[in-house]
Structure 1
Amino acid sequence: MKRAFMAVAIATVFTGASFMPVAARTAAETDADTFTVSGLEKPGSISIDKWGVPHIYAQTLYDAFYLQGFNAARDRLFQIDLWRKRGLGEMAKDFGPDYVEGDRMARAVLFRGDMYREWLAYGSDSKRVAQAFTDGINEYVKMTQANPDLLPVEFKKLGYQPSQWNPEDVVRIRHHGLTLNAKNELDRAQVFCKVKDDPVKADWLRRELSPTIDPALVDGLDPCAIPVQKIKDAYDQATATPKLTKLPPASDNAKPTATPPAQQSASASPVAPTGSPVAALYNVVDNDSDTERGLGSNNWVIDGKRTTTGRPILANDPHRSHGAPSLRYISHLSAPGLSVIGAGEPFLPGISIGHNDEIGFGLTRFYMDQEDMYQYEINPENKNEYKYKGRWEPMETVEEEIEVKGGPVQKVTLHFTRHGPILYQDDTAHRAWALRAAWLDLGMAPYFGSMDYMRATNWDEFKAAMNRWGAPGENQVYADRSGNIAWMPGGLTVKRSWDGLTPVPGDGRYEWDGYRDMDELPSLHNPQAGYIVTANENNIPPDHPAFKKGVGYEWSSDFRAKRLKAIIGAKDKSSVADSEAWQNDKTSLPAIRTVAVLKQISTDDEKLKPVVAMLQKWDGLETADSAEAAIFEVWFSRYLRRAVVERAFDPEIAKMIGLGDPERVLDVIEKPEGWFTPAERDEIMLDSLKQAVAEVSDKLGADPQAWKWGTLHQAVFLHPMNALLSDEEKKTFNVNAGPIGGSAYTPMATSYGEKSYNLTSGASFRMVLDVGQWDGSRVINTPGQSGDSRQPGYRDLAPLWAKGEYIPLTFSKEKVKENTVKVLKFEPGKN
């Protein structure tokens, strides 16, 4: 049966601006659907297995990427279209005037360099790959135009159509690269402004630095002249992921160009035109929050001499903010010169985490410092000039037009210095602040470098490909069929003459001296220990020359790394199942350390005694049904850390420091000398524990034995439209996988935010590779492979994920065929 596309029926009732799902989409459930598509060179097919993983078989290399793009649109059209709109600054076009300023700032961080050189930075065929991938997306978009019933219901609720892609969109968009550390620089400057006596001590408690360093303000910087929140808001407008908070205007009734309102000028506060705060429009993650400290990943590789199979095992579980659908998408590409399976992001071609016929690879973040904030003196006679090396230098200005649904086209101006885009300008004070970011340079499109390494066949080829990796900074672990294991970080490291921990004047005294060669960073190949673990900690060996070269100071807490190294190193022979268990390990080192101090303390408070006794016997295992985990997490994250900070500093400073860095707070309560007497420490701990008990009792009842961490800590995956949905609609678009254990600091990372204990980030994707015996590999995505809430595949993997279970990552044609439930066949049409 040949057709342009499968028949689809949607039984959905729309009433005004809202809708009510009545029946799920029903796709043609034939054994094979055949599509005639333009842009394909030769016939191809996609075998979809029972878990929703597409196995793409093409007869030419670029047909594989074409089909990958087509299928990404077929499964994740709303997600990838929203990502494109956010990245290119086109949100206001379809969602209204609230998004104009966000669009302006998004355009400020687009790549604007030479596209010819940009494509060459990734490899000789990177442009052709991107062209094939976006051609596939566009073919599916054309099909939705011919048959609107193919559109996911989000488009109908929001009243707009998906856009066509250009191949340049893939690399011009840079906002998704896990950027750091510009906002941390601003927060540190605020500490130096507010704390007159000992700002270094206050900053020490606020944020751990590794290697240990006393941050220092550079000459010429007045930290009190920096409007920290306004610049951070502008940064968030430029880089944060979208969430939709109000329905778009009913119609697009205006096209005339308007005079730029104050909100669109470079000197405006980065607040949406309606006055909505930035955080209301975007999923903003504060760089110093527990959420950010919990973001990261785990990966490890184990030599065959230490495994039950005699083959290497490679494991990876990247941690990112959770949502519905998942950030990760599993797919398999097979074509002449290409055979690779694993996960990537649905809006990018290729695979960044997975394996090909010969090698396996997995990544975690390597926290190199690739950003700086520059402050300028502005010419009082010409606000478009800034002082550089004693002379007034003109800014580069770019005029843009932003289409606005329900309003006139807005003309906006972007300003750039030699260092980067202006984020905020104060015309009254004659100052401006710009972002310099390595990720805005040539060859720095986040994750697109995987185009090269996913096709490597040995360590030398893989290392050569990683030497061309730009951003973000990554730890790559590697294993191959010959039994080799290895690790190397990738990313361009800035050469600075200062520590990079605070903003600097942009007057020419503080310039980057290029980037360090990749071979200046450490690496490991077949280490004597027989295994390698990374978990976003500072894993540069202290005796390596790079340790003190200022690669970066703001790493993730090493709790996960310490725990994983201990349990992996303790087992002489481990299996794939062991690695699965370690990815789901819920032991909290902060809990163990806190309990060790609590064991030295007694209380006369009759209400507190049973809780103290319960915690003193606890082993730190944070399961979903653990009463101890419930009280500890509330205590540690809401009360204990804050109490330490508030006792150490006056209220204004304590408010600025916030909860305090978890590692530093633990250091203080373990060795209070210089901060408190032991008796004061004991008082802080018991008083804050009493507050935590009151909260948990209020939420879970008076009986501590009945408390369960999972009652508070739910694995909820929110859709970007969550704020627009009725309670009934939320059941369709959001996914609740139920109670879950762990925390930000357990190997099974399950971070939560400030307003509730519901899951906010962690491992949406987990993978364990049986290297060489590829069909023995295991994987899980969550909440599902599909981005269409009408499909079972939208949420079917979430229950497995929540229980720590996996599905097979089938690779051989025989195993794929055994598990195939649907085959899509493709025939070339007229171009």
Structure 2
Amino acid sequence: MTDATSYDVPGLGSPVEILVDRWGIPHLYASSRADLFLAQGFNAARDRLFQLDLWRRRGLGLLAEVFGERYVEHDRAARLFLYRGDMAEEWAAYGPGTEAMTRSFVAGINAYVALCREGAPHPASPLPGEGRDRHGETSPLPPEFARLGYPPAYWEAEDVARIRSHGLFYNLQDEVARSLTLRDFGRDVEDLRKVREPDTDLTVPEGLDLDVIPDDVLRTYHLATTSPWSEGAAPRQDLDGSNNWVLSPGRTATGRPLLANDPHRAVTLPSLRYLAHLSAPGLDVIGAGEPALPGVSIGHNGHVAFGFTIFPVDQEDLYVYRTHPRDPHAYAYGDGWEHMTCVNETIPVRGGEPVETELRFTRHGPVVRELPEKQAAFAVRAAWLGPGMAPYLGSAGYMDADSPDAFTAAMGRWGAPGENQVYAAPDGTVGWLPAGRVPVRRGWNGTLPVPGDGRYEWDGFLDPGALPSVRDPEEGWFATANQMNLPPGYPHGEQPVTHDWYAPTRYERCAEALAAHDGWTAEECVRLQTDHVSLPARHVLPLLAGLESTEPRVRAALDLLRRWDAELTADSAAAALFEIWYRRHLRPALLRRALLPLVGEGRVEEALKRVLPAEGASTDARVDMRLLAAPDPDGTLGPALLASLAEAVDETEELLGADPAAWSWGTLHRAQPRHPLTGLPPDGGELPAWAEVGPLPRGGSGDTVGAASYLADFRQNGGASFRMVVDVGAWDGSLAMNAPGQSGDPRIPHYADLFADWASDGAFPLVYSRERVERETTHRITLTPPRQP
């Protein structure tokens, strides 16, 4: 039986049908684009209103208005990183139709907000489990607002474009970390912290004094770009990255192309992604985007399938200024002094007086730190603060492309973040196109901060066609996983993209699998997306062959690891032991051993803290493998392996008991996403049961294709909550996953209904044809223009 609901929605020209399938995917059918995107905004708010409201408040710097004084500093930081340019130039940068689409989308959000704020009764056939207002009527208001004591806010279309701080951008954090390591320990220690590709000179830019850079120079930047309620959140660019690939017809079982994409982000409740199917004359697109943005960014439109991973373009620089001794807001530039621009803003505060704040900007960007006592100031230059750079809004330009050529042409407008776009079409065409605005730096490469005195300026951006691309590769497949994938001969010196790529581990495993056989199916692509083979384990295990121990527990551990297939499955005892050993004992032991001759015994632990990756961050096993492969004239490597393994056995027994037969990786490594409510006021009091889901056991790690990075308590914090495999041309054969569920409203059945399937690496059909959609529909929603009095 199909449930039915109807709403009167102001602004609609004609009725819109929304068919919600059994997996919670809404299929929207409208007679015009204006009605379609208005309905998309209304439906996004129906499923994700609290998430949308929180996204907007965090981005605009309006958290303190509802959560109090403790968020004033976050609000000030967020306001520094808003787009502040001309809106006409901003809208024009995305291409025709983007402004109109966004205005319709926001009108739809506001229509649902009005429904909630006006206390209107819910339609006669509410969704199962929906709450009731004070009059006993069913209420559309999500329960978070009542619990926190404030109503959802209305939006402006400009909010969508002005908010920039939710995206993934590079490489400010790396260049600052690099400068601090050089300052305190030197290049040899920096080489243990991060691999540079290609390796490049780390000469400190002329005029830069590393000693003037404070350790907390990026504190304001991190406040602006990290959710304050995300417990243990790793810096945003340090999550696991993403995977995607395309397979030509000759490599598949059906003779049709396949496209797979599993972007990796924080594992959250609700999910970052939202799946939708948008259909109107001239447009029939299905796939995922972020719920606060109109359109679809990963999916297909019946003509072209498309999916992206991060292409980590260096779009950021830290500028270091010498300020005037008598005026800390004037900085040396060229042959004179320039004054910072000051913008005065008022931050509303719940339960307190509004806070007046000053935001300061140089010609390069927002000022994030001032040290008048050292005559220094620091500002961030970010390409993503320019016109047309709102994260993922550029997908509006390609989601209705009707051919590969139209798709690649539309990608010429793409700004941020940098992306590896793969695409495929029913005629058999497959391709790869990296895109993103690449600053031109002449005579310097962005690996370190630079003086802000005019000697280190950007000279525009690379032309969109300057980056290499691939169409119909000879191998019949092409994959990306954020690794350095520019071809041999690329002019890194003249046109640097970045020197801070992700580790190639996931790509190498994908390449191994994709090249191994023909006859690929969509189901096999899902299995590769969730593959848990650990390449670091494959490198380490052969080193155990000649090791012997007199301690029985260590001998048993050696035997367990030697019999292991290097798969980090949830039920594996060896996987639990290996991850505890490799990450918590072997890696620190190797780094201590390498650091000792560089910094001396007295500074080893201090240096180790600097070079160890943060808990929950993606890591680069190449440093470890290089240390394991280094000459060992003193024969100290074997004893170091055994000593660290003995420590790991002790810890594993503390965590899982003394019997290795009872160990399993999934007992420790689990998914348990938590709602933002767990980190928001009011403090104290019992949280509702729906504030978290799980825990459920998980395989994998940050090193596997099925990425599953984890915090110090082994709880998964990153990975692919959304996955998609498109059967190009037989669209109903496509597969997807979005966990823990499509809805962000805990009263709706689709709040966490996909969590168990996701945790066990499953997928569901991403149905597309109207006939198939009708067969799978469980709830029918009708949006109608209000009746005229």
Match of residue 153 from structure 2: 163
* Distance in 2 of aligned mates of 1:514 and 1:330: 36
Match of residue 690 from structure 2: 732
Which stretch has the larger CA shift, 602-611 or 729-738?
729-738
| Structure 2 length-normalised TM | 0.93
CA displacement 1:731-788 (0-9 Å, x = unmatched): 32211151010000111000002x2111000001011111000001011100000101
Match of residue 412 from structure 1: 357
* Distance in 1 of aligned mates of 2:627 and 2:685: 44
* Distance in 2 of aligned mates of 1:353 and 1:597: 42
> Which of these residues, 685, 700, 705, is aligned with residue 656 of structure 2?
700
* Distance in 2 of aligned mates of 1:348 and 1:376: 37
Offset of residue 528 of structure 1: 0.8
Match of residue 688 from structure 1: 644
Contact 2:278/2:286 (8 A) holds in 1 = yes
Match of residue 128 from structure 2: none
Letter in 2 for 1:702: A
Contact 2:541/2:561 (8 A) holds in 1 = yes
> Which of these residues, 805, 812, 829, is aligned with residue 762 of structure 2?
805
Letter in 2 for 1:107: R
Judged with a 3 Å threshold, the aligned counterparts in structure 2 of structure 1 residues 606 and 423 are, in CA distance, closer, same or farther, namely: same
Contact 1:294/1:745 (8 A) holds in 2 = no
> Which of these residues, 734, 738, 750, is aligned with residue 777 of structure 1?
734
| Structure 1 length-normalised TM | 0.89
Offset of residue 39 of structure 1: 0.7
Alignment of 1:3-402 (within 5 A): 31-147=3-119, 149-195=139-185, 199-229=186-216, 231-243=217-229, 284-286=233-235, 293-402=238-347
Contact 1:316/1:767 (8 A) holds in 2 = yes
Match of residue 717 from structure 2: 760
Judged with a 3 Å threshold, the aligned counterparts in structure 2 of structure 1 residues 583 and 737 are, in CA distance, closer, same or farther, namely: farther
Offset of residue 599 of structure 1: 2.2
Offset of residue 547 of structure 1: 8.0
Q: How many residues align?
A: 755
Corresponding residue SS for 2:397:
helix
Letter in 2 for 1:221: L
Corresponding residue SS for 1:623:
coil
Corresponding residue SS for 1:457:
coil
* Distance in 1 of aligned mates of 2:565 and 2:239: 21
Q: CA RMSD of the aligned region, Å?
A: 1.7
Match of residue 541 from structure 2: 595
* Distance in 2 of aligned mates of 1:679 and 1:749: 35
CA displacement 1:500-531 (0-9 Å, x = unmatched): 11111101111111111121111000111101
Match of residue 592 from structure 2: 646
Letter in 2 for 1:809: L
* Distance in 1 of aligned mates of 2:577 and 2:60: 44
Match of residue 251 from structure 1: none
Offset of residue 604 of structure 1: 2.3
> Which of these residues, 744, 767, 774, is aligned with residue 787 of structure 1?
744
Contact 1:92/1:99 (8 A) holds in 2 = yes
Match of residue 630 from structure 2: 672
Offset of residue 282 of structure 1: 7.2
Corresponding residue SS for 2:717:
strand
* Distance in 2 of aligned mates of 1:192 and 1:31: 63
Match of residue 563 from structure 2: 617
Offset of residue 545 of structure 1: 3.5
Contact 2:304/2:423 (8 A) holds in 1 = yes
Corresponding residue SS for 1:748:
coil
Which stretch has the larger CA shift, 478-487 or 647-656?
647-656
Corresponding residue SS for 1:514:
strand
1:720 aligns with 2:707: no
Point out where structure 2 has 5 or more consecutive residues left out of the alignment.
Answer: 120-132, 134-138, 596-603
* Distance in 2 of aligned mates of 1:427 and 1:50: 60
* Distance in 2 of aligned mates of 1:723 and 1:513: 43
* Distance in 2 of aligned mates of 1:475 and 1:609: 46
* Distance in 2 of aligned mates of 1:643 and 1:223: 29
* Distance in 2 of aligned mates of 1:191 and 1:34: 60
Judged with a 3 Å threshold, the aligned counterparts in structure 2 of structure 1 residues 423 and 531 are, in CA distance, closer, same or farther, namely: same
Letter in 2 for 1:185: E
* Distance in 1 of aligned mates of 2:517 and 2:490: 28
Corresponding residue SS for 2:288:
strand
CA displacement 1:602-623 (0-9 Å, x = unmatched): 2222221110121122221010
Contact 2:590/2:624 (8 A) holds in 1 = no
* Distance in 1 of aligned mates of 2:630 and 2:492: 33
* Distance in 2 of aligned mates of 1:581 and 1:241: 32
Match of residue 581 from structure 2: 635
Judged with a 3 Å threshold, the aligned counterparts in structure 2 of structure 1 residues 65 and 778 are, in CA distance, closer, same or farther, namely: same
CA displacement 1:640-676 (0-9 Å, x = unmatched): 1111222222222222212596333333343222xx5
Offset of residue 232 of structure 1: 2.1
Judged with a 3 Å threshold, the aligned counterparts in structure 2 of structure 1 residues 639 and 730 are, in CA distance, closer, same or farther, namely: farther
CA displacement 1:287-317 (0-9 Å, x = unmatched): 7xxxx54421110000011111110000000
CA displacement 1:69-89 (0-9 Å, x = unmatched): 000000000001000000000
Corresponding residue SS for 2:519:
coil
* Distance in 1 of aligned mates of 2:282 and 2:328: 55
Point out where structure 1 has 5 or more consecutive residues left out of the alignment.
Answer: 1-28, 244-280
> Which of these residues, 524, 539, 546, is aligned with residue 485 of structure 2?
539
